[in-house]
């Protein structure tokens, strides 16, 4: 077992340190000063090792704080305010007990499909039992040490006696051990025909346990302290037997063969596959879909028709939502005449907020992602698709389509605001109506152009459909920030509306010119 | 028509992948670009296709004594993993390519004639390509590259993962397509190169080297190539 422990540590150090060095190499300025033979540079390895130890150290304590503070300490403080502090210790132990049961179900570690386990057991063929016991023992030690420190502090603040605080970490470890022992036993009883990943029943159990954690405390009837501490004590003693059972168990390899599939290990890869599958699934299999168009119009027509659900469903949902909100507003305005003076200022003073709302309603990123995954990813490998005239032809067609999709909710919002203004007594200035009716669709067009332009100019995806452009991420974040800042602007309505319209139109012209100038070179699959 | 590469260079950080590539390829021939795994075959193709920027050197076409730069429509690039738009049926994909390549298409063939040519069964022609097999996708990729009639056809290990029947069909297609263009076929499988290609070019240690084309089928010739690759890789 000592050998297994050493090998586990060596393996973890090796890939974590390399991972840290790889991450350092992704930082633009840092990568220039890093030596080319990075992974054999001992100084860098030592630095990464220190970073790793620091991260592990922080993890042991920080995660527990992030769990105990919001889920136990804050609720206990609230219940103390309601029912007085006499039951503080009972509240704490009651919630901790049920939360421990929840944690046992969702975070048992033993069956977690981790990359580390995949490397060790599947790729390097370590003895599955030795690996498991070594790895799990370290996990238990970290668990007990972490909880001991954190429960000492938060338990103390809630008045839990010190001897109880000393028992609790062992009780928590015991719960996990007992649950794992039970699962291992079931697995062997059913000769491996036991689905370790099934989650249906778990969800129900978790909801019941969460209710059991908080509702009795809310009504002032937590389990008495001596009951919960006795349960923790029993769990701690049972855990010892569980540990012995685990050390003698010999079906770890079949378990890992069930849980450690390639896709489950690489989470990034899994997320990518899921995203790709979702986009692929969105292709309609309706054989009646055809098109009478030619060339790029034909391609676009079929793309839109076969991805109708993906492209239009959310937009229709958003539009229906906007209509519903507008209808409610109209009813309130008509039913309660007093409210009109309040609502009258909303359409005109709300324009800066509308930019932010339109930012969220715009579906530019989702659409460009679908365009890449299901269309450009393959067609960009054909030279004819990359010809200047063809890139620009398709850009124009797509711009038209994206504007069409996004403008539906914008028109609903624009018209609704104008109607709202009229219902609230109207405005003497017809320019107000014109600005509302034009500026909202203009903002929508701006976002449509913006996302398609940065897609064509930066094309952020590589052949593996991963996003690989820092600049793209920066620009999308900057867009968010700019929209957020606009909410703070206090311009007169007319000025803001006019600026919005002029800026949007000007941006469209500049963006299209940039695409015409640079897209034939930039619209490529990223290497 | 010739396609000439002069002193092409490409480094990835300090690693010189393409050191000094110079070669002239002639029209009507299939060139087998042989190199060991990681020798830089795909990098060379990516540079020629302008998917990545070369660090030095030039490449151009030479017709009737006149040099000119390559433009995208000159080049057809068939990847080892076929990529086709999965939301289209085979017939729609073909129609789209015929539409946008109208000016390059010679003759008036129907889509069905093209499908017959690459042996795609009638019942598969109107299926979405997301349901196509690897071999069928590969054939479609080859076909649309053929329709565009590129002057330079780059094939990056296109037959490696195909079954023997499809691989033979593809070889026939390539042989029938070789006139009026230059075909460069990269592979690390020596037998395939010997079987299909008119000339063998070795890419090793960042440079291109031709192998005398006499006796392409003899066993000694294969030994010669293997020892050349070995020697150069240990030079």
Q: What is the pLDDT of residues A415-424, one digit of tens each?
A: 999 998 888 8
CB B133 within 8 A of CB B82: no
Q: Calculate mean pLDDT across residues A39-62.
A: 82
Are residues A454 and A322 part of one domain?
A: yes
pLDDT of residue A370: 85
Confidence of residue B169 (pLDDT cuts 50, 70, 90): confident
Confidence of residue A342 (pLDDT cuts 50, 70, 90): confident
**Residue A32 resides in a domain:** no
Q: What does the block give as tokens for A187?
A: 């697995």
Average pLDDT, chain B: 85
Classified as helix, coil or strand, A109 is coil
Facing B14 at nearest CB: one of A36, A382, A383: A36
What are the CA-CA distances from residue B102 to residues A1, A107, A273, B97, B166 (Å)? 71, 61, 37, 8, 28
What is the pTM assigned to this prediction? 0.69
Classify residue A191 as left (phi > 0), alpha (psi -120 to 50) or beta. left
Confidence of residue A263 (pLDDT cuts 50, 70, 90): very low
A347 pLDDT more than 90? no
For the segment A70-102, what is each residue's pLDDT rounded down to a tens digit? 899 988 988 888 788 888 999 999 999 999 999
Facing A381 at nearest CB: one of B77, B87, B96: B77
Strand ordering across the sheet containing B2-12: B15-26, B2-12, B56-63, B66-68
Residues of B in contact with A527 (CB under 8 A): 46, 51-52
**Are the beta carbons of B73 and A384 separated by less than 8 Å?**
yes
Outline where A262-387 has alpha helix (H): 262-265, 267-281, 295-306, 308-335, 340-349, 351-361, 364-371, 377-379
For the segment A388-446, what is each residue's pLDDT rounded down to a tens digit? 888 889 999 999 999 999 999 999 999 999 998 888 887 778 888 888 899 899 999 99
Q: What does the block give as tokens for A465?
A: 């459909």
B195 pLDDT more than 90? no
Domain boundary among A265, A283, A317: A265
Tell which B residues from 138 to 157 touch A, by Cβ distance under 8 Å.
Answer: 144-145, 148, 150
pLDDT top residue among A30 and A52: A52
Are residues A314 and A364 part of one domain?
A: yes
Q: What does the block give as tokens for A87?
A: 């039951």
Residues of A in contact with B75 (CB under 8 A): 383
Cα–Cα nearest to A107, from A58, A170, A180 = A180
pLDDT of residue A35: 67
Classify residue A459 as left (phi > 0), alpha (psi -120 to 50) or beta. left
Are residues A228 and A120 part of one domain?
A: yes
Share of chain B above pLDDT 90, in %: 29
Q: Can you tell me the distance from the alpha carbon of A500 to that of A444, in angstroms, rounded to the nearest whole number?
A: 11
Q: Can you tell me the distance from the alpha carbon of B78 to that of B118, in angstroms, rounded to the nearest whole number?
A: 15
Q: What does the block give as tokens for A515?
A: 């695409």
**Are the beta carbons of B100 and A295 separated by less than 8 Å?**
yes
pLDDT top residue among A251 and B23: B23
Across the strands, what pairs with B184? B31, B154
pLDDT of residue B235: 41
Q: How close B101 gets to chain A, by Cα (Å)?
A: 8
**Are the beta carbons of A302 and B92 separated by less than 8 Å?**
yes
pLDDT of residue B217: 59
**Are the beta carbons of B83 and A302 separated by less than 8 Å?**
no
Domain boundary among A243, A265, A287: A265
Are residues A299 and A260 part of one domain?
A: no
Cα–Cα nearest to A275, from A118, A406, A467, A523 = A467
Q: Can you tell me the distance from the alpha carbon of B213 to that of B30, in angstroms, rounded to the nearest whole number?
A: 12
Query: At what angle are helices A364-371 and A430-458 packed, to 10 degrees?
Result: 30
pLDDT top residue among A268 and A107: A107
Across the strands, what pairs with B199? B31
**Are the beta carbons of A379 and B13 separated by less than 8 Å?**
no
Residues of A in contact with B96 (CB under 8 A): 295, 298-299
Residues of B in contact with A377 (CB under 8 A): 83
Facing A303 at nearest CB: one of B51, B87, B101: B87
Cα–Cα nearest to B187, from B133, B145, B232, B229 = B229
DSSP labels, B62-128: EETTEEE---GGGEEEE-SS----TTSBHHHHHHHHHHHTGGG--S---HHHHHHHTT--GGGTTSB
Facing B99 at nearest CB: one of A295, A307, A525: A295
**Are the beta carbons of A307 and B87 separated by less than 8 Å?**
yes
- The least confident of A41-50, A292-301, A507-516 is A41-50
Length of chain A: 527
Across the strands, what pairs with B26? B2
**Are the beta carbons of A384 and B72 separated by less than 8 Å?**
yes
pLDDT of residue A246: 92
Are residues A95 and A174 part of one domain?
A: yes
Are residues A212 and A299 part of one domain?
A: no
Q: Calculate mean pLDDT across residues A270-295.
A: 76
**Residue A11 resides in a domain:** no
**Residue A23 resides in a domain:** no
**Dihedral angle at the C-alpha atoms of A54, A57, A58, A61, nearest 10 degrees?**
-170
Which of A436-440's residues contact partners 24+ apart within 8 Å by CB, and which partners? A436/A347, A436/A348, A436/A497, A438/A414, A438/A497, A438/A501, A439/A351, A439/A354, A439/A414, A439/A497, A439/A500, A439/A501, A440/A354, A440/A358, A440/A410, A440/A411, A440/A413, A440/A414
- The least confident of A233-237, A385-389, A505-509, B102-106 is B102-106
A262 pLDDT more than 60? no
Range of the domain at B170: 2-233
For the segment A446-457, what is each residue's pLDDT rounded down to a tens digit? 999 999 999 999
**Are the beta carbons of B126 and A306 separated by less than 8 Å?**
no
Q: Can you tell me the distance from the alpha carbon of A291 to that of A301, in angstroms, rounded to the nearest whole number?
A: 7
A195 pLDDT more than 80? no
B57 pLDDT more than 70? yes
CB B216 within 8 A of CB B229: no
CB A181 within 8 A of CB A245: yes
Are residues A299 and A261 part of one domain?
A: no
Facing B76 at nearest CB: one of A285, A306, A383: A383
pLDDT of residue A36: 64
Confidence of residue B174 (pLDDT cuts 50, 70, 90): confident
CB A439 within 8 A of CB A497: yes
Facing A384 at nearest CB: one of B87, B100, B128: B100
Q: Calculate mean pLDDT across residues A262-271.
A: 55
Facing A379 at nearest CB: one of B73, B74, B85: B85
Confidence of residue B44 (pLDDT cuts 50, 70, 90): very high
Q: How close B48 gets to chain A, by Cα (Å)?
A: 12
Q: Calculate mean pLDDT across residues A15-38.
A: 73
CB B207 within 8 A of CB B19: yes
**Dihedral angle at the C-alpha atoms of B72, B77, B82, B84, nearest 10 degrees?**
20
pLDDT top residue among B106 and B88: B88
**Are the beta carbons of A383 and B51 separated by less than 8 Å?**
no
Residues of A with CB under 8 A from a CB of B: 36, 280, 283, 285, 287, 291, 294-296, 298-299, 302-303, 306-307, 374-375, 377-379, 381-384, 386-387, 390, 524-525, 527
Number of domain units in chain B: 1
Taken in order B164, B165, B169, B170, the sign of the CA dihedral is: negative
**Are the beta carbons of A383 and B95 separated by less than 8 Å?**
no
Instruction: Quote the Cα angle for B148-B153-B154, to 5°.
Output: 135
Share of chain B above pLDDT 70, in %: 94
B120 inside 8 A of chain A by CB: no
**Residue A227 resides in a domain:** yes
Residues of A in contact with B98 (CB under 8 A): none
Tell which B residues from 65 to 104 touch A, by Cβ distance under 8 Å.
Answer: 71-77, 79, 83-88, 92, 95-97, 99-101
Are residues A212 and A96 part of one domain?
A: yes
H or E element in which residue A215 lies: helix A200-218
Which residue of chain A is at minimal alpha-carbon distance from B14?
A: A36
Cα–Cα nearest to A268, from A475, A9, A31, A465 = A465
**Are the beta carbons of B97 and A384 separated by less than 8 Å?**
yes
Which residue of chain A is at minimal alpha-carbon distance from B152?
A: A383
Q: Can you tell me the distance from the alpha carbon of B131 to that of A379, in angstroms, rounded to the nearest whole number?
A: 17
Q: How close A172 gets to chain B, by Cα (Å)?
A: 50
Confidence of residue A494 (pLDDT cuts 50, 70, 90): confident
pLDDT of residue A192: 66
H or E element in which residue A29 lies: helix A28-33
Q: How close B157 gets to chain A, by Cα (Å)?
A: 15
**Residue A257 resides in a domain:** yes
CB A520 within 8 A of CB A388: yes
Facing A377 at nearest CB: one of B71, B83, B150: B83
Which residue of chain A is at minimal alpha-carbon distance from B101?
A: A384
Are residues A214 and A78 part of one domain?
A: yes
Facing B72 at nearest CB: one of A285, A374, A386: A386
Confidence of residue A109 (pLDDT cuts 50, 70, 90): low
Q: Can you tell me the distance from the alpha carbon of A98 to that of A460, in angstroms, rounded to the nearest whole number?
A: 46
CATH number, domain with residue B218: 3.40.50.300
Share of chain A above pLDDT 90, in %: 29
Range of the domain at A115: 61-265
Q: Can you tell me the distance from the alpha carbon of B209 to that of A82, in angstroms, rounded to the nearest whole number?
A: 86
Q: What does the block give as tokens for B155?
A: 């094939």
Q: Can you tell me the distance from the alpha carbon of B96 to that of A295, in angstroms, rounded to the nearest whole number?
A: 5
ipTM given for this complex: 0.82
**Residue A351 resides in a domain:** yes
Q: Calculate mean pLDDT across residues B172-180.
A: 85
**Are the beta carbons of A280 and B130 separated by less than 8 Å?**
yes
pLDDT top residue among B3 and A385: B3
Number of domain units in chain A: 2
H or E element in which residue A254 lies: helix A252-259
Facing B51 at nearest CB: one of A379, A387, A527: A527
Residues of B in contact with A386 (CB under 8 A): 72
DSSP labels, A32-93: HHS-SSGGG-HHHHHHHHHHHHHHHHHHHHHHHHHHHIIIIIHHHHHHHHHH-GGGHHHHHH
- The least confident of A117-131, A315-329, B15-29, B37-51 is A117-131
**Are the beta carbons of A374 and B87 separated by less than 8 Å?**
yes
| Contacts for A101 with CB less than 8 Å, ≥ 6 apart | A175, A209
Are residues A327 and A466 part of one domain?
A: yes
Residues of A in contact with B125 (CB under 8 A): none
**Dihedral angle at the C-alpha atoms of A139, A145, A150, A156, nearest 10 degrees?**
140
CB B181 within 8 A of CB B25: no
How many contacts, defined by CB atoms under 8 Å, are there between A and B?
Answer: 74
For the segment A214-236, what is each residue's pLDDT rounded down to a tens digit? 888 887 889 999 999 999 999 99
B233 pLDDT more than 60? no
Facing A390 at nearest CB: one of B14, B46, B100: B100
Are residues A341 and A253 part of one domain?
A: no
H or E element in which residue A500 lies: helix A493-522
CB B216 within 8 A of CB B200: yes
Residues of A in contact with B101 (CB under 8 A): 384
Residues of B in contact with A379 (CB under 8 A): 85
**Residue A180 resides in a domain:** yes
Domain boundary among A265, A280, A314: A265
For the ranges A465-469, B89-93, B167-171, B175-179, the maximum mean pLDDT occurs at: B89-93
The CB density around residue B208, as the number of other CB atoms within 10 Å, is 22
For the segment A119-144, what is each residue's pLDDT rounded down to a tens digit? 888 778 888 888 889 889 989 999 99
B216 pLDDT more than 60? no
Cα–Cα nearest to B56, from B21, B24, B25 = B21
Classified as helix, coil or strand, B24 is strand
**Dihedral angle at the C-alpha atoms of A499, A503, A505, A508, nearest 10 degrees?**
-170
pLDDT top residue among A164 and B214: A164
B53 pLDDT more than 80? yes
For the segment A295-329, what is each residue's pLDDT rounded down to a tens digit? 999 999 999 999 888 888 888 988 998 998 889 88
């Amino acid at each position: 077992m000592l050998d297994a422990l050493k090998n586990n540590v060596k393996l973890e150090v090796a890939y974590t340190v390399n991972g840290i060095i790889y991450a350092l190499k992704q930082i633009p300025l840092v990568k220039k000063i890093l030596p080319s033979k990075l992974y054999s540079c001992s100084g860098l390895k030592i630095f990464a090792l220190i970073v790793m130890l620091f991260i592990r150290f922080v993890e042991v304590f920080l995660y527990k704080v992030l769990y105990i503070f919001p889920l136990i300490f804050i609720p206990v403080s609230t219940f103390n305010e309601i029912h007085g502090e006499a039951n503080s210790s009972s509240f704490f132990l009651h919630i901790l007990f049920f939360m421990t049961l929840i944690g046992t179900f969702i975070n048992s570690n033993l069956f977690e499909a981790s990359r580390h386990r995949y490397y060790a057991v599947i790729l390097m063929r370590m003895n599955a039992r030795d690996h498991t016991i070594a790895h799990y023992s370290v996990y238990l030690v970290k668990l007990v040490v972490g909880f001991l420190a954190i429960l000492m502090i938060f338990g103390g603040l809630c008045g839990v006696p010190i001897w109880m605080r000393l028992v609790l970490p062992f009780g928590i470890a015991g719960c996990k051990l007992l649950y794992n022992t039970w699962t291992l036993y079931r697995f062997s009883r059913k000769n491996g025909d036991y689905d370790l990943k099934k989650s249906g029943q778990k969800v129900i159990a978790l909801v019941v346990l969460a209710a059991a954690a908080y509702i009795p405390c809310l009504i002032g009837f937590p389990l008495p302290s001596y009951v919960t501490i006795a349960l923790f004590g029993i769990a701690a003693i049972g855990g010892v037997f569980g540990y012995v059972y685990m050390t003698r168990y010999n079906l770890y390899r079949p378990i890992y063969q069930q849980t450690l599939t390639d896709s489950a290990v690489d989470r990034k890869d899994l997320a990518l596959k899921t995203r790709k599958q979702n986009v692929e699934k969105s292709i309609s299999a309706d054989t009646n879909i055809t098109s009478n168009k030619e060339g790029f119009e034909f391609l676009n027509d079929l793309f839109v028709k076969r991805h109708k659900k993906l492209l239009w469903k959310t937009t229709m949902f958003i539009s229906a939502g906007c209509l519903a909100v507008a209808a409610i507003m109209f009813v309130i305005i008509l039913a309660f005449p007093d409210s009109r003076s309040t609502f009258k200022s909303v359409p005109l003073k709300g324009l800066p907020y509308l930019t932010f709302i339109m930012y969220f309603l715009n579906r530019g990123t989702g659409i460009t992602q679908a365009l890449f995954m299901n269309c450009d990813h393959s067609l960009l490998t054909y030279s004819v698709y990359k010809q200047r005239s063809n890139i620009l032809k398709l850009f124009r067609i797509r711009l038209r389509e994206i504007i069409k999709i996004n403008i539906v909710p914008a028109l609903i919002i624009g018209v609704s605001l104008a109607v709202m203004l009229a219902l609230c007594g109207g405005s003497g200035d017809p320019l107000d109506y014109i600005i509302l009716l034009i500026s909202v669709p203009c903002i929508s067009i701006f976002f449509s152009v913006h996302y398609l332009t940065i897609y064509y100019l930066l094309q952020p995806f590589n052949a593996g459909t991963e996003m690989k452009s820092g600049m793209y991420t920066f620009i999308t974040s900057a867009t968010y920030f700019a929209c957020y800042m606009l909410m703070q602007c206090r311009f007169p309505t007319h000025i803001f509306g006019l600026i919005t319209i002029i800026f949007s139109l000007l941006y469209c012209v500049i963006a299209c010119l940039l695409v015409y100038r640079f897209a034939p070179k930039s619209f490529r699959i990223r290497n | 028509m010739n396609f000439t590469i002069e002193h092409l260079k490409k480094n990835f950080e300090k690693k010189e992948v393409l050191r000094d590539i110079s070669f002239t390829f002639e029209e009507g021939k299939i060139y087998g670009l042989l190199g060991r795994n990681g020798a830089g075959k795909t990098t060379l193709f990516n540079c020629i296709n302008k998917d990545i920027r070369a660090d030095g050197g030039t490449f151009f076409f030479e017709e009737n004594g006149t040099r000119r730069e390559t433009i995208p429509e000159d080049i057809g690039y068939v990847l080892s993993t076929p990529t086709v738009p999965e939301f289209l049926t085979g017939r729609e994909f073909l129609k789209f390519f015929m539409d946008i390549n109208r000016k390059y298409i010679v003759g008036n063939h129907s889509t069905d004639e093209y499908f017959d040519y690459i042996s795609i069964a009638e019942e598969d022609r109107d299926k979405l390509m997301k349901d196509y097999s690897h071999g069928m996708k590969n054939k479609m990729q080859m076909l649309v590259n053929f329709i565009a009639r590129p002057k330079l056809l780059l094939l990056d290990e296109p037959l490696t993962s195909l079954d023997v029947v499809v691989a033979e069909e593809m070889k026939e297609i390539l042989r029938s397509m070789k006139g009026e263009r230059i075909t460069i076929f990269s592979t690390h499988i020596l037998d395939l190169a010997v079987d299909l290609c008119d000339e063998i070019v070795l890419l090793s240690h960042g440079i291109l080297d031709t192998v005398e084309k006499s006796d392409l089928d003899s066993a000694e010739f294969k030994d010669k190539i293997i020892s050349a690759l070995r020697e150069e890789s240990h030079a």
